[in-house]
Amino acid sequence: MKLILSVLTFVFLSFPIRAQNHFEVFFDFNKDEPNKNSSAMITEWIKSNPKAEVVKIAGYCDTVDTGDYNIELSSRRIQSLMKTLKANNIQISETVELKAYGENFKQSLNDAQNRRVDVFFKPADVTIAKNGDNRKREEVFRPDAPEAGLATKIKSAKAGDLIRINDINFFLNSEVVVPESEPRLDELYYIMRKNPKLVIEIRGHICCNPDVNDTKLSYRRAKYIFSYLLEKGIPLNRLAYRGFGSARPIYRIPEKTANEQAANRRVELFIIAI
């Protein structure tokens, strides 16, 4: 892999689903190891994207010191991050681009924003089921009364609120969303785009299982939605996910009706910031 030293201004384009995504890693002044917050973010990203393929890494510096030194420092920052990714078995593309820009780009007024590395990656595919899929589906929850739409719920929400999404449904014992629920995923994506300060934790819940420690399926379902939004370009620092299994049911387990089971088997959004 060849390290390319470039003085071109870098412009990041938004890529469509199944193309590239990216995240930013920040550094303290004159350091080539990520700062504390970014180190924690990298750890979470690695856990969430074990099958991602890194296709490009770009390094930047503030304008302190000489141009040559800043090129060299941004190169060391790239290599530091590469070492971490490789140590955690993250796939690096054979044609990966490594570009050290130093201070030769449009600088932010905030120097801390300039001391960074941008990592571009291809996430593992998120597959939306196609119409005509004959896999068995789970019962859909039927509320007793009409409910406000997702956009309305989020518009009136505040940090700490918990919003239930009734119409994201899955195939039986699967994390794959049924085709009819795809528009709701798209709606959530557009809401996230329209509200750039919105930070959410996606929470998955299941029904019927008396073992409250069995969180695997709920975890996969929450991660599915997380990955969908990440592939669409929502930044990693605005997303989190958790699976609660059957530990927080709406109706006591064992449920009495299929509708109670469907109510317990749900996706919720916890509003972290808005």
Verify that 116 and 224 share a domain, yes or no: no
- End position of a domain, from candidates 106, 122, 138: 122
* 71 falls within a domain: yes
Verify that 154 and 230 share a domain, yes or no: yes
* 207 falls within a domain: yes
Verify that 100 and 200 share a domain, yes or no: no
Tokens 């930044």, residue located: 235
Verify that 10 and 117 share a domain, yes or no: yes
Confidence at 4, pLDDT banded by 50, 70, 90 = very low
pLDDT at 9: 29
CATH number of the domain to which 231 belongs = 3.30.1330.60
* 192 falls within a domain: yes
Verify that 171 and 269 share a domain, yes or no: yes
Verify that 159 and 261 share a domain, yes or no: yes
Verify that 23 and 96 share a domain, yes or no: yes
* 144 falls within a domain: no
Verify that 115 and 188 share a domain, yes or no: no
Confidence at 176, pLDDT banded by 50, 70, 90 = confident
Verify that 62 and 115 share a domain, yes or no: yes
Asked if pLDDT for residue 95 goes beyond 90, the answer is no
Per the structure, how many domains does the chain have?
A: 2
pLDDT at 120: 85
Verify that 9 and 65 share a domain, yes or no: yes
* 186 falls within a domain: yes
Verify that 108 and 157 share a domain, yes or no: no
* 141 falls within a domain: no
pLDDT at 108: 81
Q: How confident is the prediction for the chain on average, in pLDDT?
A: 82
Verify that 176 and 61 share a domain, yes or no: no
Q: How far is residue 129's CA from residue 157's CA, in Å, rounded to a whole number?
A: 31
Q: What is the pTM of this model?
A: 0.52
Structure tokens at 155: 């518009």
Q: Which domain does 185 fall in, by range? A: 150-273
* 138 falls within a domain: no
Asked if pLDDT for residue 145 goes beyond 70, the answer is no
Q: How far is residue 108's CA from residue 59's CA, in Å, rounded to a whole number?
A: 14
* 135 falls within a domain: no
For residues 144-148, give the mean pLDDT: 51
Contact by Cβ (8 Å): 212, 173: no
Q: Which long-range contacts (CB under 8 A, 24 or more apart) does 256-262 make?
A: 258/139, 259/139, 259/141, 259/142, 260/207, 261/139, 261/207, 261/208, 262/138, 262/139, 262/140, 262/141, 262/142, 262/207
pLDDT 10s digits, 11-34: 333 333 333 477 889 999 999 999
- Output 86 or 106, whichever has higher pLDDT: 86
pLDDT 10s digits, 204-248: 999 998 898 889 999 999 999 999 998 888 999 999 999 999 999
Give the phi and the psi of residue 82 in degrees, each rounded to 5. Answer: -60, -40
- End position of a domain, from candidates 122, 140, 164: 122
Classify the C-alpha dihedral 68-70-76-81 as positive or negative: negative
